Every structure is written in C-alpha cells, then in structure tokens.
Structure 1
C-alpha cells in the first residue's frame, strides 16, 4: 500500500469521526475544501461513494461504514502503538545492544549495570564483547565502545574516561628465574608476551614514556594472543613479561601473583568513547544508557 492510500485512510476515518469537513480540517491543519477534494479523489479511485455530504454534516455511506468497521481494529492498534511510544519517553524500555572491547566491558560497563538495572528495569542490555572493530550499523548494534584511534569518522562520540595507564607485569617466579628489567632496553633479553589486534592483525607496540620522552622497542616474540585475559593469564603462569591495563593488573598485584616493573616508563592508553550513528530521535533506552555510561 502506497503512502497516499495510507494518508487517505487516515483522512477518511478522521472525517467520519468528526462528522464535518470543517472540524476534520481543524484536526488535520488543512482547509475543509482540501479534505473534500482529497475524498473525492479517493472515491474516484475506488469507484465507491464513501461519504454522504449535506450542508450540515457528513456521514459515511453503507460502503463507508463497512470500510470503517474493517479499519477500526487496525486504527486502534496504531493508536495504542503510538501511545506506547509516548509512554516510552517517560519510562524507557526495550533493548540496547552494545559492542565493546573486553577491558571496557569490565572497567566501564559492568560497574554501572547494577544501578542501571535498578533505574530502568524495562531495558534489556546486550553486551557483545569483541576486541575487533565492528560496523555498528551493518551488524545491528545501537552503539559501540572503542578507543579514539579506532572510531569511525562519521560517528557521534561521547568520551567515557581519561584513558588508563598500562603496567608491565610478570610473575614473581619468572622474575626470580630471568631477573628484573631496570630499563626498557633490558626487555630485549626477556621472554615477551604480545597482543595482536584482532581487526588489523598488527602487534600492539611496546612503547615506553617518561618525562615527555617516548620510544618503542620490538621485543622478542615468545608468545602472542588476541585476547587480553589470556595475555594476563600467560603472565601469571610465568611465561614472560606483558603489558596489561592498571585496572586489570590491580587485583593480581594485590594478591602477589603479578609484579609490576618499569612503572616510571609506563604509557597510557587513549580514552574510551561510546559512539553511535545519528543524533536525531535517539531511542530513549539508548539515551539513558549513554547517560549512565557517562556517570563516573
């Protein structure tokens, strides 16, 4: 059914309900003559007279009443759907589907979900963890969370944090066996555990920063993985040195299963951003999710 027919149905139902072209014109914001012309066109296309017109009122014909009887359930469903949409503005509901890298899922989303669930019990949140880049529009996501260098250019983005420092860690057993590095160049004599970016396939650079000085080294590649949790487990198992985030490292440093080295040379990862396509008519559920993620 084309748009013109949909519009004609709404106009016909509105005129029948109002009982007057003038009153219906006020409702639709058009002149009575324009509505009369529109109805004559509809009747001509159908080959059936739908309205009886007098100088005082407009009433449906028998054929018009039959059509209205068929249309009323559908019109009622549309009205109920529109009312539900209006209610959703006041009480957001539905699904929010997010793609995010693993560290943001643990560090940013998970700590906020309990409070979000209490505030918005009718919203279902789906978090898809993927350290690679995702096309949120093509893959049906409402939004994504990535670090700034990974954002698509045409996305609207909201900054969620200030970035996090990295920690170069190893197990106490590994350091006892192979020694503790005291300067960045010392890593060249160590086993090194590297992270491979899932989308690009490149290795994350071993970059060191101190007092405005930044430089990178290419370490010996003893073990590689594309999963930051596996990287952490490798370090805890005594397989070598690894860069992980300070947040990820904190419980293991506290328990003594990992030791941080070269802390004065530790770099920072870029900030995380929540990004989405389009600013107009943002779904209420997504809007309140974004607000929740911005809350420190």
Structure 2
C-alpha cells in the first residue's frame, strides 16, 4: 500500500518522541484507594505529573512497595483512553472493570486530561505518558504488559509499540489499537472536523478546557510525529490487534484496513458489526474478547 502522512487530531504539539529519547522514570507518590486499587502520581521523562490507578485484578495479596505477590505471572493491561477522556470517566472505568476480570489493569489520564498536569499534544508526547504507565506496571512485578488504546490512545499505543520496542522496562509485549486513525490530519467526517476546530481554534481550546476538562497545547507539531500507519509496520514481532466498529463516525474502515495491511502477518483485524467509536461504544462482549486476546497473544 501507499503510506500517507495525514491523520486525525489536528495540530497541537511540540517536538516528537524518538527512539533515542531518555527513558521514562516513573516517580510515584502512592496512596491506597478503596478496595485493593492503588492511585498514584507518575512523573514522565519530560517532567509531567500523570495521575494513574492500578487494579491488581487476578493478583492476590499485592504489596505496593514495588512488588506484588504473583504479579510476575499475571498480564498487566495498560489502558490508554481517547481524546477528552480521563482515568475517572465512566467509559474508562467500565473498560477497566471488564479487563480486571482477566488481568491486572493500569489506567491513567494523558497529559492535559483529567487530573494530570501539562497540556494535550493530541497524540505526540503522550507516548511518554504511556511509557511511564508501562514502566510502573513492570515495577509492580508484571513481566508481561499489554497496551490497549482507544482512538487517540490507539494512535499512541501504535507509536509507543514502534518507538519503545528496544526498551525492556517501557516496551509493550503486545498492542491493541481500538478505533485508531491510520494517518494524521484526517478531516473526512463531520466529527473529525469538529475535533479539528476544538484543537486548532482558540475558542475551541477554551471549550476543551472548561467544557471537557482537556487543556490543549496551541503549538503545531514540529516535527510531525511518526504516522500510525508507519508505526504499525514496526511493531512486529510483538502481536498487534486492530479493532474497529463498522459504524465508527470518526474514522471509516479504510483506517483499520490500512493499519492491518501495513502490519502484515503480524496483525489481527476485527471489524465489529454495529460498533461505533472507541471506549464509549465498546460493549462488554468486545471488551472481554480484547482482554482474552491480551492475556493469550
């Protein structure tokens, strides 16, 4: 296929992450929350504080001093939400709850979202946030970590899978991209034109800040990050699953098909009948099947 360099989320951001960037060191200030969950703050390698939650799932008797009894043999799923989401949004908590029936789960808010610091770069520097969350999961004892991203988060897990493959503490052992774009600056649907207005216009960024609790960077990408379709080519030998609804109003089916074609034999493609866009549209059946794939791939 012919690779293209267009894509979804408009221009926001600052310089892109490259494979030579300094490794992320999560610096946690943990406090326990209800039940066995742990809420903490991570620090990315560029100094942004990221809120995160760990749910041990199948792990019994965790101790939150950097180890967890039995964690080494339990898969950890790191969930990367979509644009304007956050760790506490109902759709994210619902997905995390389903995943926790099969694995330990780390959820977090991308920079500029929810209670995290910084400003959203709409998929560029967010790979640093994901790297911090993956490193935290490994620091809790999990030898196998799978990233699952929705929409913007789907583009982030693809780029992270390509850029961090050689970093043992921050890499993903398998990648799941749900409702992800294949290319940047895509404006072919009405919802994506609204997203571009939100990201590129001062009034839109005010709506994002005060209406959606999302603080968006006003700077353009320089350089433009690695496109998701190019990232998909580089993820193998790690397994890759691409999930997309046939009623997705944001990205039509040429996006997941382009990603799968780029990845070649290293990817599975699920086109879900009746499913719309991202974590809000993924029902329990889809989420359970994703979790089952994550722990067995």
Larger radius of gyration: 1
Compute the TM-score of the two structures, normalised by the length of structure 2: 0.25
The structure carrying a bigger strand percent of its residues is 1
The structure carrying a bigger helix percent of its residues is 1
Compute the TM-score of the two structures, normalised by the length of structure 1: 0.25
